[in-house]
Every structure is written in C-alpha cells, then in structure tokens.
Structure 1
Amino acid sequence: MDTIRLTQLSHGGGCGCKIAPAVLADMLKSMPQMQCFPNLLVGTETADDAAVYRLNDEQALVATTDFFMPIVDDPFDFGCIAATNAISDIYAMGGKPILALAIVGMPVNTLPMEAIQKILAGGASVCASAGIPLAGGHSIDAPEPIYGLVALGLVHPDRVKRNSSARAGDVLILGKPLGIGVLGTAMKKGVLDADGYRQLIDTTTQLNTIGAELAAMDDVHALTDVTGFGLLGHLLELCRGADLGALVEANKLPLLAAAIGFAQQGIGPGAIARNLDSFGADVAFADDVPDWQRRLMADAQTSGGLLAAVAPEKADEVLALFHAQGFASAAVIGRMQPGEPVISVAQ
C-alpha cells in the first residue's frame, strides 16, 4: 500500500472536482422549480448548501450529499476530509446532523483492501465525532476512488440559515483560512512539507459545528460554507440570492500560512482558473490586488469555513463565538452593500 498514492488514481481531488459554476448553471437552467411542494423550504433556487423540508411546526429535515476523489494520499485522512466536508452542509443550514450514509466507489482490483478499509474508517471516525451513526450506504466498483456521505439533519423551520437572506450593511465573517486547494496541489506535486500537510489536515477535518449555534442568532442573516467554487463563487451566491453587492478586503482574508508561497508561485488546482472564468464581470478586482491573492480567493476549498452575513452591531459577538469554538483564524473580511449582485475586491 505504501507504493500507491491515492491522488495518482484520480484526475481531480476534493472539491476541485466540482463542475465549474458557469457550466453547472447551464446544466441546471432547465430544471423545474419545486413550487408545488409547499413544505420544501429550500430547494435548488439559490444554489444553497442543502435541501430543507418541513416535517412539522418544530422540525425541518436537512438533506445533502457530497462526495469526491482523493485530495490527499493517506486513506484515513481522505475518509476524514470527505466526511467532514459532507456534514458541513448540514451546519451551513443551521442544522444538527442526525444520520449519515456512505457513498463508496473504489477500484477494487487496483486499490488494496487495507486502503479501502482505512478510507471507510476515516469517515466513520468523523461521524462519531459529530455524534451521529454511519448507518449504511451504497458502493460500486469504480475506475477512480470516490468517497463521501449522504448527511441528514434537523433544524427548527424558523431557524433555517439560507444563503439568500443577507441584508445591506451586513458584515461578512469567514470561519476558516483559505488555501486548501493550493496545499492539496502542492502535496500532489511532492513539494508540501510536514507542517504544510498538518495545516491542510487540521483545517479540512475541523467540523463546522458552530453552524448549529449560529442558527439560534437572529442577527446572523445568511450562512453558507466555502467549498469548490472558492470564496468568491460562494459569496456571489449570497449576492445573487439577496440581490445585493459585496465588498471584500483582500488584506483581511485569513490564509493558510503554508499556501501563500505556493500561491505566489502559481501552484494550485485547475479549478482556480475555471472559477475565475466563471465569475466574469461579476467580480471586480482593484488594480493593487495581486494575482496570487485573486487565485486564493478563487481557490477550490475542500471542507472550507462557514461564511456568515451578520448585522454589524453583532459582528464582534459572532466573531468571538467563532474564536471560542476553536476557529482561531475567523475574521471579518468585508460587507454586503446595496447595488447590483457583484463583488468588489479592494486591498
């Protein structure tokens, strides 16, 4: 097993495997709207993180699925990252996870059984940390390794945190540092040292449990998690859902220290270019924002941080809660503002 690198068995890795935003939008444009289901509180309309279905006056079911190919070579770490990433969508809606099912596609004639077992064990360990059972799933023989979860959770119908309900003047808080895709690419190239790898694992395996606490705060107006479309892609979804603009201050962004040098060298996943192409005229960079910062803002994050739009008078309280819950890098990165649904990036 020591001679097999998981990342060499797949053409992409982590949330960098996601279809580019513009291509996905074109694929989905003919999808029918679910207006005939009044209990469907959140569907596909605003590209939110999970579906939400009202069960009764006190409970709504949050349902999501997420899976991808390896972003790291260690099988156990891959399983942990994939499971953490999938469960994050429940927290991003303000929910608490209750159950998970595994999605497994493995090249069974190529990958040793021990490696497959470790991937499954990694996923199971994260479910245990989240306090939920991994209660089953489905598996296929696939040409590339694929792992992820179906995750289910519960939230009060009045506490659902959508990505479309930000308000003008809201402060934007990002819970985790950027640079995950850059570090994953550096690892695949064999240039990531042990400290950089530890930064990658520590970030991608940190559960966004704070989302369930943010659900109880009325002044947290909108919430999403930052994954394959990068910070700018997911912030654009907030802007379009609320019909507002946003300002991002590049010098305030939390960044993984090990990713900065690699980003300055141009190292990163192909998803960066695909994301930047998809943004088009909807993102305007100031002239003094260098290319490497632009790339980090478009970097495909795997199991990235929550992005919250918060009433300005409560921003300090929410930021303190992030820090108290172990999100030491959480920072205010900008604000929502009136105008067209575009993002302005200043230094």
Structure 2
Amino acid sequence: MTQPDTPQPSAAPRLTSLSHGGGCGCKIAPGVLSEILKNSGNLPGLNIPPQLLVGIETADDAAVYQLNDEQALIATTDFFMPIVDDPYDFGRIAATNAISDVYAMGGTPIMALGLVGMPVNVLPLETIGAILRGGQDACRDAGIPIAGGHTIDSVEPIYGLVVMGLVHPSRVKKNSGARAGDLLVLGKPLGVGILSAALKKEKLDAQGYARMVALTTQLNKPGIALARMEGVHALTDITGFGLAGHGLELARGAGLQVRIDWQRVPLIPGARELAAQGCVTGASGRNWASYGAEVSLPAGFTEVDKALLSDPQTSGGLLVSCGADSADEVLGIFRAQGFGDAAVVGEVVAGQGMAVR
C-alpha cells in the first residue's frame, strides 16, 4: 500500500504581505491625527509640572522631563508593521527608527523596552525570533539594553521600542527653536517610502534594497554632538509625514516660514525613477491632502517631485536649523560620522508655512 505523503509545513508568508502599510507609512495622516487629538489633550484641571520641558504642544519627537540641574529624561515610543520581508532587517529598522527620536532631542539613549505584536499562528517562531534579534542588535549598536517589554498576539506583525535617554536640560533641542536667518541641513537623502513601495511591487533590485537597509539602520548619532552647539537652534527627524510635514512642524513651532531649495535636497539614487513608475505610497497622498494647502510650490513642480516631498521616511535623517555661520560645522559633524549625503537644503525666514523653490 502506498503511504500518504507526510504533510509539509507551508512556507512562511512574506512579512510585507501581512501588513496593510509598512514602516512610518503606517502613521495616521497628519490631518486625521489632528482631528483625533483636538479634544483629547490633558485632563481638565491637571497641572502640567514645570519639569516637563517638552510635551505635546509642538508635535515634537519625544517628551522631556527635567530630573535635576544636570539631567533631563527623554521618553519616546515608536512601532510599526513590516517595511521589508527579511525579519532581521525589519527588527533593525524598527529599533533604529525608535531610537532616532532620542537623538533628535539632542540626547543619549540609555535603555529600551520592546513592543511586540505578532500573528503567532501565521509566522514561524524563528521568524519572530529573528525580528527581535535585529532589534537587539540595533540597540547594541546604540549602546543600550532592551530591559523589558510587552508582547501580544496580533493580526498583523508589529514591532518597535519604548526608548529612554538623557540630556542636559540646557541642551534640549526642540523642533520649535528655529530662528529667522537659519539654514536647514538634512542628514539623509529622501526616498525610503518610494523604495519600500517598489519592494512591495517586486520592482526593487538588490542594490536598491541594500541602499534602503543601510540608510534605515544608520543611527542618527550626530544629534548628540549637534546638541552641544550653540549655533544649532532646532532639531527634528524626518519620518512618516515626509520632509514637507516635519518641515511644517518646525515652521509652525517657530512661527516662521521654511523655504526649501528643492534642487539641493538629496535623494536616494533611483528613487525619482521608481516614483515615475508609480512606486508611491498611499501615505504620501494622505500626507499631501493633510498639509498641501500650507506648501507653496513653484511653477512646473511635478507630481513625482510632490510625491518625493511628502514621501514618508522610515528612520529618516535629522533636519537641523542652525545659524548660517554654523552650517559648515554641522556638515562636518555629519560627514565625520558617515553621513556623506548631508546637505544644506533651505533656510528659515519671516512668514509662515513652507515655500519650495
């Protein structure tokens, strides 16, 4: 008698096939988020302690609470669904992205807590283990432990961190401190969202994938040195709302206008061509619908350029607002730490909103 074939386990699904959006492209659109938060602020009658140096007022990158004359605690959290199919790379990218908010406040990370939601009946346990290992290795690169966390069984795979750091209270760099006359320096090129869309459509080649992983796992450590500079007035990182969205947050916080010199903005090689082929995230359109009315564009600005301007960045670069006489030093710090694409991309002037030229 012929024996029946032994059932074979089905192949693990692609991580990106399990998520409706990946990386920082999962973020709720800024306009929708604004509506949600409109009536959900701090409880009536709750006194905000003076030690809370940074809260929710200007949509900054992290909360900051002063502990004493020498130390302030930075607290932040970030998590999302897969932007890549390799589980180890997904873990590294998600952890790097979460840690970035501490650097964006000018701080040094000290520890993290893991946030893990996984479809345990869908993904092999070794896949989930590889995600966590990637996160641990990113934290090791930052010099911090994952000291605890929380796990749930979820429909879509979710991974991220709560991250805490320390900074001297006088060195906290808010996103609202820009001054008229400042120059803007961007630490990493744009286009991560476009490359991730191309990956999901199986249009991203091996070289493009390597570029995307290298950028999204590069820790924004220059933020520590930048915080020590008197000439650096504001810091933020470019993530899910794109250069336009986070640039607008900087402009609103300072009550000024951000002007972007589009030809000087660095782009990931191949990103423009992929965008022209339709590899654009849905988040890019939602971003533009939320804040496009506040952005003045020049004649002839193409839909591809608009998609790049609003492209959601996962683990994107720092945006630095600094005095004009400090720009060369800022660029030098970036380049000394391996950020060769860092460039002056605009300026801060009197006015409001954003103007692209």
- What TM-score does the superposition give when structure 2 sets the normalisation length? 0.95
1:80 corresponds to 2:89: no
Question: Match of 2:95, as an amino acid?
Answer: A
Tell me how far apart the structure 2 counterparts of residues 323 and 279 of structure 1 sit (CA, whole Å).
Answer: 32
1:345 corresponds to 2:356: yes
Deviation at 1:61, TM superposition (A): 0.2
Root-mean-square deviation (Å): 1.1
Deviations 1:150-173 (A, max 9, x none): 000000000000000100010000
Q: Is the 8 A contact 1:264 1:292 kept in 2?
A: yes
Q: 2:108 aligns with which of 96, 108, 122?
A: 96
Correspondence for 1:186: 198
Deviations 1:158-208 (A, max 9, x none): 000000010001000000000000000100111100000001000000000
Deviation at 1:3, TM superposition (A): 4.4
Correspondence for 2:22: 13
Deviation at 1:31, TM superposition (A): 3.1
1:240 corresponds to 2:252: yes
Deviations 1:219-257 (A, max 9, x none): 100000000000000000000000000110111110000
1:108 corresponds to 2:134: no
Question: Match of 2:168, as an amino acid?
Answer: H
Map 1:67-216; keep pairs closer than 5 Å. 67-216=79-228
Map 1:204-283; keep pairs closer than 5 Å. 204-283=216-295
Q: Is the 8 A contact 1:199 1:258 kept in 2?
A: no
Question: Match of 2:308, as an amino acid?
Answer: L
Q: In structure 2, do the counterparts of structure 1 residues 165 and 266 end up closer, same or farther at CA, with 3 Å as the change threshold?
A: same
Question: Match of 1:96, as an amino acid?
Answer: T
Tell me how far apart the structure 2 counterparts of residues 81 and 135 of structure 1 sit (CA, whole Å).
Answer: 19
Tell me how far apart the structure 1 counterparts of residues 107 and 156 of structure 2 sit (CA, whole Å).
Answer: 32
Question: Match of 1:344, as an amino acid?
Answer: A
The answer to which of 291-300 and 151-160 deviates more is: 291-300
Deviations 1:97-136 (A, max 9, x none): 0000000000000000010000000000000010000111
Q: 1:58 aligns with which of 70, 86, 89?
A: 70
Structure 2: gaps spanning 5 or more residues: 1-9
Deviations 1:53-84 (A, max 9, x none): 00000000000000000000000000000000
Tell me how far apart the structure 1 counterparts of residues 313 and 57 of structure 2 sit (CA, whole Å).
Answer: 23
Q: Is the 8 A contact 2:88 2:133 kept in 1?
A: yes
Deviation at 1:289, TM superposition (A): 2.1
Tell me how far apart the structure 1 counterparts of residues 125 and 306 of structure 2 sit (CA, whole Å).
Answer: 41
Tell me how far apart the structure 1 counterparts of residues 347 and 58 of structure 2 sit (CA, whole Å).
Answer: 20
The answer to which of 153-162 and 28-37 deviates more is: 28-37
Q: In structure 2, do the counterparts of structure 1 residues 243 and 225 end up closer, same or farther at CA, with 3 Å as the change threshold?
A: same
Question: Match of 2:16, as an amino acid?
Answer: T
Q: In the comparison of the two structures, how many residue pairs are matched?
A: 345
Tell me how far apart the structure 1 counterparts of residues 348 and 20 of structure 2 sit (CA, whole Å).
Answer: 37
Deviation at 1:280, TM superposition (A): 3.0
Deviations 1:7-39 (A, max 9, x none): 001111000000000111111112335752110
Q: Is the 8 A contact 2:262 2:345 kept in 1?
A: yes
Structure 1: gaps spanning 5 or more residues: none
SS in 2 for 1:218: coil
Tell me how far apart the structure 2 counterparts of residues 32 and 3 of structure 1 sit (CA, whole Å).
Answer: 42
Tell me how far apart the structure 1 counterparts of residues 149 and 329 of structure 2 sit (CA, whole Å).
Answer: 40
Deviation at 1:5, TM superposition (A): 0.4
Deviations 1:267-318 (A, max 9, x none): 1110000001111320011012222111111000000000000100111111
Question: Match of 2:199, as an amino acid?
Answer: M
Correspondence for 1:310: 322
Correspondence for 1:330: 342
Q: In structure 2, do the counterparts of structure 1 residues 315 and 74 end up closer, same or farther at CA, with 3 Å as the change threshold?
A: same
Question: Match of 1:263, as an amino acid?
Answer: A
Q: Is the 8 A contact 1:250 1:289 kept in 2?
A: no
Q: Is the 8 A contact 1:171 1:310 kept in 2?
A: yes
The alignment-based identity, stated in percent, is: 60
Tell me how far apart the structure 1 counterparts of residues 203 and 156 of structure 2 sit (CA, whole Å).
Answer: 24
Q: Is the 8 A contact 1:246 1:344 kept in 2?
A: yes
Correspondence for 2:6: none
Q: In structure 2, do the counterparts of structure 1 residues 13 and 277 end up closer, same or farther at CA, with 3 Å as the change threshold?
A: same
Tell me how far apart the structure 1 counterparts of residues 257 and 170 of structure 2 sit (CA, whole Å).
Answer: 26
Question: Match of 1:24, as an amino acid?
Answer: L
Q: Is the 8 A contact 2:12 2:123 kept in 1?
A: no
SS in 2 for 1:140: strand
Tell me how far apart the structure 2 counterparts of residues 323 and 237 of structure 1 sit (CA, whole Å).
Answer: 26
Tell me how far apart the structure 1 counterparts of residues 53 and 178 of structure 2 sit (CA, whole Å).
Answer: 17
Correspondence for 2:40: 31
Tell me how far apart the structure 1 counterparts of residues 292 and 110 of structure 2 sit (CA, whole Å).
Answer: 39
